[in-house]
Amino acid sequence: MTAIDEPAAEPEQAPTAPGPAPAPAPRRGLPPALRAAGVVAVLAAAVALLWLTFGFLRDADANRFVLVGVAITVGAAGVFFLYWAMNWAVDALPERFREGVRPYVFVGPAMVILAVFLVYPVINTILISLGDAQGEGFVGLDNYRFVFTDSSMLRAIRNTAGWIIIVPLVGVSVGLAFAALTDRLRRGEAVAKSLIFLPMAISFVGAAVVWRLVYSFRPEGFGTNIGLLNGIKSGLGMSPTPWLQQDPWNNLLLMVIMIWMQTGFAMVVLSAAIKSVPDEIIEAARIDGASEFQVFRRIVVPSIAPTIAVVTTYMIINAMKVFDIVFVIGDPRTNKTEVIAERMIQWFFISNNDGRGGAIAVVLFLAIIPVMVWNVRRFREQEVVR
Amino acid sequence: MTALPVEPANLAGTGTDVGSAPPARPKGGAGDVRKGGWFPRIAVLVVVVLWVIPTLGVLVTSFRPEELADSTGWWTAFGHVFDGGQWTLQNYRDALDAGGFQNAFLNSLAVAVPATIIPITIAAFAAYAFSWMDFRGRYVMFVGVVGLMVVPLQMALIPILRLYTRGASIGGWTLFPDFDLSGSYLGVWLAHTAFGLPLAVYLLRNYIGSLPSEIIESARMDGADHFTIFWRLVVPLSVPALAAFAIFQFLWVWNDLLIAYIFLGGTRDTRVLTIALANLVGSRGENWHLLTSAAFISMALPLAVFFALQRYFVRGLTAGAVKG
Amino acid sequence: MRIRRFMAIPIAVVLLAGACGGDDDDDDAAGDDNAATESGGGEDTGSVNILSAVEPEEAEVVQGVLDSTVNDDADYTAEIEASGDFEEQFEIRAEGGTLDIALLPQPGQVAAAVDQGAVALEDMGFEVDQLTDQFGDYLMSLVEVDGKHYGMPTNVNLKSMVWYPKDDFDAAGYEVPDTWDDLLALSDQIVADGSTPWCVGYESEGATGWPATDWMEDIMLRTAGPDTYDQWVNHEIPFNDPAVLTATERFGEIMFGDGYVLGGADQTPSIAFGDAPGPMFEDPPNCWLHRQASFINAFFPAEAEAGVDYDWFPFPEIDQQATLIAGEFAVAFRDAPEVRDFLEQFAGEEVQCGMGGETGSSRLSPNLDVEADCYANEILADSSEIVSAALEDGTARFDASDQMPPEVGSGSFWTGMMTYMQEGPDSAEGVLGDIEASWPT
pLDDT in tens, B141-168: 988 888 898 888 888 888 888 888 877 6
Are C174 and C270 found together in one domain?
yes
The Cα–Cα gap between A355 and A137 comes to 10
What are the backbone angles phi and psi of residue C155, rounded to the nearest 5°?
-160, 145
The Cα–Cα gap between B26 and B322 comes to 9
User: What pLDDT shows up at residue B223?
Assistant: 83
B13 Rama sector, left if φ>0, alpha if ψ -120 to 50, beta otherwise: left
Percentage, residues of chain C above pLDDT 70: 90
Tell whether B87 is covered by a domain. no
Tell whether C30 is covered by a domain. no
List CB contacts (< 8 A) between C411 and chain A.
Answer: 333, 350-351
Q: Is a pLDDT exceeding 90 seen at residue B124?
A: yes
What are the backbone angles phi and psi of residue A98, rounded to the nearest 5°?
-50, -60
Tell whether C265 is covered by a domain. yes
Q: Is a pLDDT exceeding 60 seen at residue B29?
A: no
Question: A82 and C4 in contact by Cβ < 8 A?
Answer: no
Q: pLDDT band for C197, please (50, 70, 90 cuts).
A: very high
- Average pLDDT estimate for A14-35: 46
Strands C77-82 and C47-52 turn out to be: parallel
Looking at the 3D structure of chain B, how many domains does it have?
1
Question: C38 and B166 in contact by Cβ < 8 A?
Answer: yes
Q: Is a pLDDT exceeding 60 seen at residue C38?
A: no
The Cα–Cα gap between C254 and C169 comes to 19
Looking at beta carbons, which pairs linking C139-148 to residues 24 or more positions away fall under 8 Å? C139/C327, C139/C366, C139/C391, C139/C398, C142/C107, C142/C110, C142/C329, C142/C398, C142/C403, C143/C107, C143/C110, C143/C111, C143/C329, C145/C110, C145/C111, C145/C114, C146/C114, C148/C120, C148/C121, C148/C122, C148/C123
- Structure confidence by residue, pLDDT tens digits, A107-164: 988 999 999 899 999 998 998 899 888 777 888 888 999 999 988 899 999 999 999 9
* Residue of chain B whose alpha carbon sits nearest to that of A125: B155
Are C153 and C216 found together in one domain?
no
Of B203, B213, B285, nearest to A310 by CB-CB distance is B203
Lowest mean pLDDT among A204-213, C131-140, C305-314, C394-403: A204-213
Tell whether B199 is covered by a domain. yes
Tell whether B39 is covered by a domain. no
Residue C207: CATH number of its domain = 3.40.190.10
* Residue of chain A whose alpha carbon sits nearest to that of C419: A334
- Structure confidence by residue, pLDDT tens digits, B55-106: 888 888 888 887 777 777 777 777 777 777 778 888 787 777 766 777 888 8
Asked if C36 has any chain B CB less than 8 Å from its own CB, the reply is yes
* Angle, vertex CA C139, rays to CA C136 and CA C141, nearest 5: 100
Largest CA distance in chain A: 93
Tell whether B238 is covered by a domain. yes
Is the Cβ–Cβ distance between A133 and A354 less than 8 Å? yes
Question: Distance from B27 to chain A by nearest Cα, in Å?
Answer: 9
Which of B1, B182, B185, B272 is the mutation pick for testing C, counting most C CBs within 10 A? B182
The Cα–Cα gap between C217 and C247 comes to 8
Question: Distance from B224 to chain A by nearest Cα, in Å?
Answer: 6
Q: How many CB atoms lie within 10 A of CB A138?
A: 10
- Average pLDDT estimate for B22-45: 61
Whole-prediction pTM: 0.79
Asked if C81 has any chain B CB less than 8 Å from its own CB, the reply is yes
- Average pLDDT estimate for A189-196: 83
User: What pLDDT shows up at residue B137?
Assistant: 86
What are the backbone angles phi and psi of residue B21, rounded to the nearest 5°?
-90, 140
List CB contacts (< 8 A) between A334 and chain C.
Answer: 208-209, 269, 414-415, 418
Question: C33 and A351 in contact by Cβ < 8 A?
Answer: no
Which of A73, A116, A118, A345 is the mutation pick for testing B, counting most B CBs within 10 A? A118
The Cα–Cα gap between B180 and B177 comes to 9
User: What pLDDT shows up at residue A156?
Assistant: 93
Task: Give the SS3 label for residue B170.
Answer: strand
The Cα–Cα gap between A40 and A255 comes to 60
Q: Which chains touch B (3 or more CB pairs under 8 A)?
A: A, C
- Structure confidence by residue, pLDDT tens digits, A270-328: 887 887 788 888 888 888 888 888 888 888 888 888 889 989 998 999 899 888 888 87
Are C199 and C257 found together in one domain?
yes
Are C170 and C135 found together in one domain?
no
* Residue of chain A whose alpha carbon sits nearest to that of C415: A334
Tell whether C2 is covered by a domain. no
- Average pLDDT estimate for C199-210: 88
Lowest mean pLDDT among A88-102, A134-148, A177-191: A88-102
User: What pLDDT shows up at residue C387?
Assistant: 92
Percentage, residues of chain A above pLDDT 70: 83
Asked if A379 has any chain C CB less than 8 Å from its own CB, the reply is no
- Structure confidence by residue, pLDDT tens digits, A53-67: 666 666 555 566 777
- Average pLDDT estimate for C369-397: 88
Of C88, C269, C278, nearest to A245 by CB-CB distance is C269
Lowest mean pLDDT among B174-183, B261-270, C216-225, C361-370: B174-183
Tell whether C16 is covered by a domain. no
What are the backbone angles phi and psi of residue C291, rounded to the nearest 5°?
-95, 120
Radius of gyration of chain A (CA): 29
Q: Which chains touch C (3 or more CB pairs under 8 A)?
A: A, B
The Cα–Cα gap between C313 and C300 comes to 16
- Average pLDDT estimate for A234-248: 82
Asked if C67 has any chain B CB less than 8 Å from its own CB, the reply is no
Q: Give the A:B interface size as CB pairs under 8 Å.
A: 398
The Cα–Cα gap between B62 and B60 comes to 5
Which of C2, C14, C422 is the mutation pick for testing A, counting most A CBs within 10 A? C14
Are C173 and C252 found together in one domain?
yes
Q: Is a pLDDT exceeding 70 seen at residue C135?
A: yes
List CB contacts (< 8 A) between A353 and chain C.
Answer: 407, 440
C20 or B79: which leads in pLDDT: B79
Asked if A83 has any chain C CB less than 8 Å from its own CB, the reply is no
List CB contacts (< 8 A) between B281 and chain A.
Answer: 205
Of A87, A327, A334, nearest to C269 by CB-CB distance is A334
Tell whether B248 is covered by a domain. yes
Q: Is a pLDDT exceeding 80 seen at residue B25?
A: no
Strands C311-314 and C161-164 turn out to be: antiparallel
Q: Which residues contact A93 (CB under 8 A, 6 or more apart)?
A: A101
Q: Is a pLDDT exceeding 70 seen at residue C34?
A: no
Question: B57 and A79 in contact by Cβ < 8 A?
Answer: no
Are C303 and C246 found together in one domain?
yes
Are C359 and C302 found together in one domain?
no
A55 or C76: which leads in pLDDT: C76
Interface of C with B in 352-381 (CB under 8 A): none
Q: Is a pLDDT exceeding 80 seen at residue A26?
A: no
Tell whether C39 is covered by a domain. no
The Cα–Cα gap between C293 and C362 comes to 10
In 3D space, the residue among B152, B8, C381 whose CA is nearest the CA of residue A343 turns out to be B152
What are the backbone angles phi and psi of residue C321, rounded to the nearest 5°?
-95, 160
Q: Is a pLDDT exceeding 50 seen at residue B204?
A: yes
Q: How many CB atoms lie within 10 A of CB A13?
A: 13
Question: C35 and B180 in contact by Cβ < 8 A?
Answer: yes
User: What pLDDT shows up at residue B316?
Assistant: 46
Interface of A with B in 344-363 (CB under 8 A): 344-345, 348-349, 358, 361
Asked if A43 has any chain C CB less than 8 Å from its own CB, the reply is yes
User: What pLDDT shows up at residue A385?
Assistant: 67
- Structure confidence by residue, pLDDT tens digits, C78-100: 889 888 778 888 988 888 888 99
Of B158, B161, B266, nearest to C81 by CB-CB distance is B266
Looking at beta carbons, which pairs linking C300-308 to residues 24 or more positions away fall under 8 Å? C306/C377, C306/C378, C306/C379, C307/C166, C307/C378, C307/C379, C308/C166, C308/C167
Question: B269 and A199 in contact by Cβ < 8 A?
Answer: no
C262 or A290: which leads in pLDDT: C262
| Per-residue buried b or exposed e for B127-143, using 16+ beta carbons within 10 Å of the residue's own CB | bbbbbbbebeebeebbb
Tell whether B276 is covered by a domain. yes
Beta strand residue intervals within chain B, DSSP E: 168-170, 173-176
* Residue of chain B whose alpha carbon sits nearest to that of A86: B227
Asked if A199 has any chain B CB less than 8 Å from its own CB, the reply is yes
Are C364 and C337 found together in one domain?
yes
The Cα–Cα gap between C339 and C50 comes to 10
Of B73, B199, B303, nearest to A224 by CB-CB distance is B73
Looking at the 3D structure of chain C, how many domains does it have?
2
List CB contacts (< 8 A) between A83 and chain B.
Answer: 121, 125
Tell whether C284 is covered by a domain. yes
Question: B284 and C55 in contact by Cβ < 8 A?
Answer: yes
List CB contacts (< 8 A) between A10 and chain C.
Answer: 2, 5
Of A46, A220, A334, nearest to C208 by CB-CB distance is A334
The Cα–Cα gap between C291 and C166 comes to 14
User: What pLDDT shows up at residue B18?
Assistant: 34
Tell whether B186 is covered by a domain. yes
DSSP assignment letter at B3: P
Print the SS3 string covering chain A: CCHHHHHHHHHHHHHHCCCCCCCCCCCCCCCHHHHHHHHHHHHHHHHHHHHHHHHHHHCCCCCHHHHHHHHHHHHHHHHHHHHHHHHHHHHCCCHHHHHHHHHHHHHHHHHHHHHHHHHHHHHHHHHHHCCCCCCCCCCCCHHHHHHHHCHHHHHHHHHHHHHHHHHHHHHHHHHHHHHHHHHCCCCCHHHHHHHHHHHHHCCHHHHHHHHHHHHCCCCCCCCCCCCHHHHHHHHCCCCCCCHHHCCCHHHHHHHHHHHHHHHHHHHHHHHHHHHCCCHHHHHHHHHCCCCHHHHHHHHHHHHCHHHHHHHHHHHHHHHHHCCHHHHHCCCHHHHCCCCHHHHHHHHHHHCCCHHHHHHHHHHHHHHCHHHHHHHHHHHHHHHHHC
Interface of A with C in 351-370 (CB under 8 A): 351-353
A19 Rama sector, left if φ>0, alpha if ψ -120 to 50, beta otherwise: left
Residue B309: CATH number of its domain = 1.10.3720.10
Tell whether C230 is covered by a domain. yes
Lowest mean pLDDT among A10-19, A70-79, A203-212, C111-120: A10-19
User: What pLDDT shows up at residue A2?
Assistant: 36
Length of chain A: 386
The Cα–Cα gap between A366 and A104 comes to 28
List CB contacts (< 8 A) between A356 and chain C.
Answer: none
Strands C323-332 and C311-314 turn out to be: unpaired
C164 Rama sector, left if φ>0, alpha if ψ -120 to 50, beta otherwise: beta
Question: A205 and B36 in contact by Cβ < 8 A?
Answer: no
Highest mean pLDDT, choosing among A312-326, B306-320, C221-235: C221-235
Are C267 and C210 found together in one domain?
yes
Asked if A332 has any chain C CB less than 8 Å from its own CB, the reply is yes
Domain that holds residue B155: 102-313
User: What pLDDT shows up at residue B64?
Assistant: 83
Are C303 and C362 found together in one domain?
no
Q: Is a pLDDT exceeding 50 seen at residue B251?
A: yes
Compute CA A223 distance to the chain's CA centroid, rounded to the nearest angstrom.
41
Q: Is a pLDDT exceeding 80 seen at residue B203?
A: yes
Of C47, C84, C275, nearest to B278 by CB-CB distance is C84
Domains of chain A: 3-92 (no CATH), 142-385 (1.10.3720.10)
Lowest mean pLDDT among A207-221, C103-117, C409-423: A207-221
User: What pLDDT shows up at residue A35?
Assistant: 57
Q: Is a pLDDT exceeding 70 seen at residue A10?
A: no
Question: B195 and A117 in contact by Cβ < 8 A?
Answer: yes
B276 or A37: which leads in pLDDT: B276
Question: A333 and C411 in contact by Cβ < 8 A?
Answer: yes
CA distances from C197 to C72, C215, C260 (A): 50, 16, 6
Are C211 and C271 found together in one domain?
yes
Q: How many CB atoms lie within 10 A of CB C5?
A: 20
Tell whether B230 is covered by a domain. yes
User: What pLDDT shows up at residue A221?
Assistant: 72
- Average pLDDT estimate for C279-290: 91
Asked if B293 has any chain A CB less than 8 Å from its own CB, the reply is no
Percentage, residues of chain C above pLDDT 90: 50
Asked if A77 has any chain B CB less than 8 Å from its own CB, the reply is no
What are the backbone angles phi and psi of residue B269, rounded to the nearest 5°?
-80, -35
The Cα–Cα gap between B22 and A278 comes to 9
CA distances from B62 to A194, B290, B296 (A): 22, 7, 8
Q: How many CB atoms lie within 10 A of CB A131?
A: 18
Question: A228 and B202 in contact by Cβ < 8 A?
Answer: no
Compute CA C378 distance to the chain's CA centroid, rounded to the nearest angstrom.
21
User: What pLDDT shows up at residue C407?
Assistant: 83
Tell whether C5 is covered by a domain. no
Lowest mean pLDDT among A218-222, A246-250, A278-282, C393-397: A218-222
* Residue of chain B whose alpha carbon sits nearest to that of A306: B206
- Check if the interface score ipTM surpasses 0.85: no
Are C72 and C221 found together in one domain?
no
In 3D space, the residue among B202, B212, B199 whose CA is nearest the CA of residue B127 turns out to be B202
Domain that holds residue C314: 162-321+405-437
Q: Is a pLDDT exceeding 70 seen at residue B238?
A: yes
Task: Give the SS3 label for residue B169.
Answer: strand
